[in-house]
Every structure is written in structure tokens, then in C-alpha cells.
């Protein structure tokens, strides 16, 4: 976990573990479940952003925010929250697309982290 | 306790499930509000943790529908109060206000803290427990209101209810029913000679004898004072006469003392019987005074006997 110094850790390990009842295996399971489930949500997010259905986009971002909060996957949680709010407020498409890109990156970082466990 | 989780997002659902199971609860999952309503009904669940944001029926709508269902419970059924805890995102103050206004009992912000979840569920359990003991007390009171305190059998009030129902069924279904009125003979003399306690004992004994010799489809009530009444659904005059005679004989053969009741000086009863016959004679409600009249005839004709009210001869058709 010392490898990543430039960016914040993809999960707050201690807090996340506590949420999982201090059960490492269960926490890993939760991470896997999230990573299994999130690609479908990202597809929905992408489709709704492209179609300009911002309410739908905000809803999906909200779900991702909630799921990541359970894992204490802070970076994902933060970007998803920003995206949710931006979509609700009807911010410009470029901004939303940029946030979507960031979210995708953070999810990839989490996947990498999970694979290393 | 059996707890229903209504949550569409799998990670939250799994975390919640694990936390609840660790606390010793049984968890049933529902993937949205509509599904939750079905599961709550099936499982007779009392506590629900519902996410605010769900497809189709969301948490707010779920609460509204649950509260509406509770309003619509028929009078003779006891409603089960479902305690609802809403899951909301941190800082959504308006959601909390709306949720509690709609009838949610409590809320937890996501991501939840295990200790907080535990105490909130305990608070919910306390409310459910209070609700249950209140419902049990109410049922007990309702039951008591229909039972005669002295004899322990159904009372006049219960008779009024049942009579009304049976009269209605007879009217609609075109079926007969019979009423048997029973009065203890020379009860005042019994009280005077043996005392009121013996009088009470006699009433209790007669109640027991009557209950023991009616059919399972019949009802017996203490009508007031030393008077009892039986309702015999779907029973014509002939069948009712048979039952009435058996009741009279049962009391006589009970060999209870009544020194003021010559010649046997045993406790006896006079019995009046009237029957509702569809498409002829009196209305269902009109049968009760006829049974009473028959009882008075039984008294005046010498007591310890059954008198059947005779329907007036049908008008012959030309």
C-alpha cells in the first residue's frame, strides 16, 4: 500500500474494514461485489449522459456514491458525489464527461488495488 | 427479529445484511419498494429498513403505502404496525423531513455506523413490543366485553351481535334459524331460601349444563338475570324442539336443589322456542319476542316445560 503516494488510497482500509465488521474476507467480498456490479452502472451512466438524461445520470451516480461509501472507497465516493450534483444542476456536458472519465479512472484504481489483495 | 431490507444497491444490501445478521436478526431482502411490500406481507415482517432511492416504488412511497394499508385493515382484524427505518444520504435534510412526515419511524444516514444501527433497531423493537402488548390488551378487553362475568359464557352484548349476523344471513340466504329462551323456575325462591351465593352457583351450573348439551353449531348466552338464550342457525322448528327438550331435561337431571320449587324441589327451567321460516311468518328480528311469548306460556302452563311458538296457519291459496 506504500506504492501509491501521489494519489489518495482507493479505500480507507481501516474505516472500510470497520464497516465490514473487521472481517477481512467479508471486506474483500464486498469489494468484489462492487467491482462486479459497477460496470453495468457505468454503462447506464454513459448512456444517460450521452442522451442528456441528466436526472437518470444523477440517480446512477447516487447509487455508485452510496455503494462506494460502504466500502470507504473515498475517491470514488467523492467523484460520484460531484457528478451527481453537477448532473442535477445541469452543468455543461464537457464537465460531466470529464467527471465521468475521472470516475472511471478511480474505479480502475480500486480494481487494481483489489487485485493486489 | 425478522427484518426486511429494501435496497436496490447490492453492496449496501450486503453490508446491511451482514451487520443485522451479526446482531442476531433474520434478514429478508427486497430489491425495491414494490417487492418489499410483497415480502412484508408474506413474512408478516414488523421492521423494515428501506433505502430512499429505489426504482419503481421508492422508500417514501413504500412508507405511504404501508401506512395506508394499516388504515384499511378491517375492524375485526388486528393490524400489525410495521416499523420503518429509512436509509438516506448524509445531509439530505428535506428527505428526512418528508420521510418522517409520510410515516417513517426513524432514519439512518448512509453509510451507516454499526453501533448506531444497533441502537436504532433496539428502539424499533421497543416500539413494536409496546404495540404488540397494547394490541393483546385490546383484544383481551374486547373479549371481556363479550363475556358474562358471573357465568363465563357469552353475554347479552355478544348475543345482540350474533343475532344480528344470523338474522342477516337468514334473510339473505333464505334459511331458517331458531331461538330458545330459557328461564330458571322460581329463582327468587331459591335466592330467598338458600341465599344469593347459592343463586349465583345455580346460574353458573345451569350455564355449564346448557353449554354442555347444545350442538357445536349453536350458541348459548346469558341474556340477563336468570334468563339464558340459545341461537340455532340453520335449524327449523322440529330440530330446535329436539334441542330445547334436551336442554330442559339436562337441567332437571342435573338435580340441583331449589327448595322453593315444588313438587320436586329441584332446579328446573321453562323454555320458549320460536323459529324464523323464510318466505313466511315474522321477520328474523320478529322471532325474538315470539320466543319470549312462548317462554311466558311455558311459565303459565306450569313451568319445567318447552313451549313452541306456533306459526299462524298459512293463508290457503285459491
Q: What is the dihedral sign for C-alpha B238, B154, B152, B299? A: negative
Distance CA B216, CA B42 (A): 33
The pLDDT confidence band at residue B89, using thresholds 50, 70 and 90, is: confident
Q: Residue B110 and residue A70: Cβ atoms within 8 Å?
A: yes
Distance CA B216, CA B207 (A): 15
Q: Tell me how close the Cα of A83 comes to any Cα of chain B, in angstroms.
A: 15
The pLDDT confidence band at residue B318, using thresholds 50, 70 and 90, is: very low
β-strand pairing of B177-184 with B227-233: antiparallel
Instruction: Supply the ipTM of this predicted assembly.
Output: 0.83
User: What nine digits make up the cell of B171?
Assistant: 334473510
Contact residues on chain A for B117, CB-CB shorter than 8 A = none
Distance CA A93, CA A102 (A): 14
Residue given cell 480502475 in the structure block: A108
Distance CA B40, CA B5 (A): 10
User: What nine digits make up the cell of B30?
Assistant: 427486497
Instruction: List pLDDT tens digits, range B254-303.
Output: 999 999 898 899 999 999 999 999 888 789 999 999 999 999 999 999 99
Least confident among A91-100, B135-144, B299-308: B135-144
Nearest C-alpha neighbor of A66 from the set B89, B278, B258, B55: B89
Q: Tell me how close the Cα of A31 comes to any Cα of chain B, in angstroms.
A: 8
Instruction: List pLDDT tens digits, range B100-157.
Output: 999 999 999 888 888 999 999 999 999 999 999 998 998 899 889 999 999 999 999 9
Nearest CA in chain A to B15: A20
Distance CA B309, CA B244 (A): 12
pLDDT score of A15 more than 50: yes
Distance CA A32, CA A41 (A): 15
Q: Does A29 touch chain B (CB under 8 A)?
A: yes
pLDDT at B316: 46
Q: SS3 of B108, please? A: strand
Q: Give all strands of the β-sheet with B2-6 in edge-to-edge order.
A: B26-30, B2-6, B47-51, B83-89, B106-110
Question: What is the set of active-site residues of B?
Answer: 226
Nearest CA in chain A to B90: A66
Q: What is the mean pLDDT of residues B229-245?
A: 96
Q: How many helices (H) and strands (E) does chain A have?
A: 5, 0
Residue given cell 473515498 in the structure block: A74
Nearest C-alpha neighbor of B257 from the set B215, B216, B199, B310: B199
Q: Residue B10 and residue A62: Cβ atoms within 8 Å?
A: no
Distance CA B186, CA B22 (A): 71
Which of A21, A29, A69 is nearest residue B110 as measured by Cβ atoms?
A: A69
- Count of Cβ atoms closer than 10 Å to residue A70 Cβ: 24
Count A/B contacts: CB-CB distance under 8 Å: 51
Least confident among A24-38, B35-49, B86-100, B178-192: B86-100
pLDDT score of A58 more than 80: yes
User: What nine digits make up the cell of B22?
Assistant: 451479526
Q: Tell me how close the Cα of B129 comes to any Cα of chain A, in angstroms.
A: 28
β-strand pairing of B177-184 with B269-276: antiparallel
- Count of Cβ atoms closer than 10 Å to residue B39 Cβ: 18
Nearest C-alpha neighbor of B243 from the set B215, B277, B205: B215
Contact residues on chain B for A37, CB-CB shorter than 8 A = 9-11
User: What nine digits make up the cell of B252?
Assistant: 332437571
pLDDT at B57: 87
User: What nine digits make up the cell of B261?
Assistant: 320449587
CB neighbours of B235 closer than 8 A, spacing ≥ 6?
B176, B177, B178, B218, B243, B275
Distance CA B193, CA B188 (A): 9
CB B28, CB B39: distance < 8 Å: yes
Chain B interface, Cβ < 8 Å to A? 8-12, 14-15, 18-19, 22, 51, 53, 89, 110-111, 114
CB B216, CB B162: distance < 8 Å: no
Contact residues on chain A for B19, CB-CB shorter than 8 A = 21
pLDDT score of B75 more than 80: no
Q: SS3 of B83, please? A: strand
Contact residues on chain B for A67, CB-CB shorter than 8 A = 9-12
Q: Tell me how close the Cα of B44 comes to any Cα of chain A, in angstroms.
A: 29
pLDDT at B127: 95
Average pLDDT, chain A: 92
Amino acid at each position: 500500500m506504500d506504492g501509491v503516494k501521489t494519489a489518495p488510497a482507493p479505500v480507507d482500509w481501516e474505516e472500510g474494514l470497520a464497516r465490514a465488521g473487521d472481517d477481512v474476507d467479508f471486506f474483500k467480498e464486498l469489494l468484489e461485489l462492487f467491482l462486479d456490479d459497477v460496470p453495468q452502472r457505468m454503462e447506464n451512466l454513459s448512456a444517460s449522459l450521452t442522451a442528456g438524461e441528466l436526472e437518470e445520470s444523477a440517480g446512477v451516480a447516487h447509487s455508485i456514491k452510496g455503494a462506494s461509501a460502504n466500502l470507504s472507497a473515498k475517491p470514488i465516493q467523492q467523484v460520484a458525489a460531484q457528478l451527481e450534483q453537477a448532473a442535477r444542476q445541469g452543468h455543461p456536458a464537457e464537465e460531466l464527461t470529464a467527471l465521468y472519465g475521472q470516475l472511471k479512472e478511480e474505479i480502475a484504481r480500486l480494481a487494481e488495488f483489489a487485485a493486489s489483495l | 427479529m425478522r427484518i426486511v431490507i429494501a435496497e436496490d444497491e447490492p453492496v449496501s444490501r450486503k453490508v446491511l445484511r451482514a451487520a443485522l445478521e451479526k446482531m442476531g436478526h433474520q434478514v429478508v431482502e427486497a430489491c425495491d419498494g414494490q417487492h418489499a411490500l410483497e415480502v412484508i406481507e408474506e413474512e408478516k415482517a414488523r421492521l423494515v429498513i428501506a433505502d430512499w432511492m429505489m426504482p419503481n416504488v421508492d422508500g417514501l412511497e413504500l412508507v405511504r403505502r404501508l401506512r395506508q394499508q394499516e388504515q384499511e385493515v378491517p375492524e375485526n382484524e388486528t393490524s400489525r404496525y410495521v416499523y420503518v427505518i429509512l436509509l438516506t444520504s448524509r445531509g439530505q435534510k428535506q428527505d428526512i423531513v418528508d420521510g418522517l412526515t409520510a410515516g417513517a419511524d426513524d432514519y439512518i444516514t448512509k453509510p451507516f455506523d454499526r453501533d448506531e444501527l444497533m441502537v436504532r433497531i433496539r428502539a424499533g423493537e421497543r416500539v413494536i413490543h409496546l404495540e404488540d402488548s397494547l394490541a393483546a390488551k385490546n383484544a383481551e378487553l374486547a373479549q371481556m366485553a363479550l363475556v358474562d362475568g358471573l357465568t363465563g359464557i357469552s353475554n347479552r352484548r355478544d348475543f345482540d351481535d350474533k343475532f344480528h349476523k344470523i338474522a342477516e344471513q337468514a334473510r339473505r340466504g333464505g334459511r331458517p334459524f331458531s331461538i330458545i329462551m330459557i328461564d330458571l323456575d322460581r329463582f327468587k325462591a331459591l335466592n330467598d331460601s338458600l341465599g344469593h351465593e347459592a343463586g349465583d352457583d345455580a346460574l353458573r351450573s345451569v350455564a355449564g349444563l346448557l353449554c354442555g348439551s347444545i350442538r357445536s353449531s349453536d350458541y348459548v348466552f346469558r341474556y340477563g338475570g336468570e334468563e339464558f338464550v340459545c341461537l340455532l342457525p340453520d335449524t327449523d322448528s322440529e330440530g330446535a324442539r329436539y334441542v330445547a327438550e334436551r336442554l330442559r331435561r339436562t337441567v332437571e337431571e342435573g338435580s340441583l336443589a331449589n327448595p322453593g320449587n315444588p313438587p320436586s324441589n329441584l332446579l328446573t327451567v321453562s323454555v320458549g322456542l320460536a323459529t324464523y321460516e323464510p318466505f313466511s311468518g315474522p321477520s328474523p328480528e320478529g322471532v325474538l319476542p315470539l320466543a319470549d311469548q312462548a317462554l311466558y306460556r311455558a311459565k303459565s302452563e306450569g313451568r319445567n316445560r318447552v313451549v313452541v311458538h306456533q306459526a299462524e296457519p298459512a293463508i290457503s291459496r285459491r
